[in-house]
Amino acid sequence: MSKRQKLMVGNWKMNGSLAANASLVAELLQGMAEVYCHAAVCVPSVYLSQLQTLLAGSELALGAQDVSPHESGAYTGEVSASMLKDFGVRYCILGHSERRRDHSESDALVALKAQRALAGGITPIVCVGESLAEREAGETEAVVKRQLAALIQVNGHCISEIVVAYEPVWAIGTGLTAKPEQAQAVHAVLRAQLQAASPHADRVSILYGGSMNAANAATLLDQPDVDGGLIGGAALKAPDFLTMLKAASR
């Protein structure tokens, strides 16, 4: 079993409303008594102010879902790391497959965003993962290694401050989950690559994401290199997310 304390992160994606957020957070905070892992929710940026207030003084950390690679200036629609920091943001998901797909985010851009987040005092949660076609073509290892190499190339000196999330694209929002041993196999590849790059690699948390839910979380979290979860759909249901946080607290 890993010595790294587990980290469980809810990715709310483009879901929520002022009213729905308030009731979800109230239910989560009520159930946090038996939660001993690190936990965070990554929310749409328009709700950061609301969530900063709702989460104040709680054990649930605040996260965002993207950051600009630029410091400031003429970048309409973008949100900088220092702006996120103003709202108490601790984590930022970067390079999610939905952003790679819908916004053509390259490995190099994701690495730059991670650099910008780190400079702003925010922990990047950098997503890597293969598509179904890539898995079927036997390219899983090559794809995740390429994605991680770009991150290491730019941020190798502070790699221990980054969280990596292995999210097989075919498992995100589909109800298909990687088998625990499939997840562990890829996590071990990522860990070895980190170890080759940094003496601090054992401190890097590698999360699993892709249809993790209340029923399958415990067995995934039992894998030696699975240090937590990045959770989409199931993080929007307080009882389910709490069950998963408790599974990570054993």
How far apart are the C-alpha atoms of 67 and 89, rounded to whole Å?
11
Q: How many residues bind ligand PEP (CB under 6 A)?
A: 14
What does the radius of gyration of the chain's CA atoms come to, in whole angstroms? Answer: 17
187-246 residues in contact with ligand PEP (CB under 6 A) are: 209-212, 230-234
How far apart are the C-alpha atoms of 83 and 108, rounded to whole Å?
23
Active site residue 38: no
Q: Which of 121, 173, 224, 239 contacts ligand PEP by CB under 6 A?
A: 173
Longest dimension (CA), the chain: 48
Binding letters toward ligand PEP, positions 7-46, x by CB under 6 A: ----x-x---------------------------------
Which 3 state secondary structure label does DSSP give 41? strand
Query: Closer to ligand PEP at the Cβ: 37 or 201?
Result: 37
172 binds ligand PEP, rule: CB under 6 A: yes
Query: Closer to ligand PEP at the Cβ: 92 or 201?
Result: 92
Choose the catalytic residue: 105, 130, 134, 167: 167
Our CA angle for 134, 167, 122, nearest 5°, is: 135
How far apart are the C-alpha atoms of 140 and 128, rounded to whole Å?
10
- Tell me the catalytic residues: 96, 167
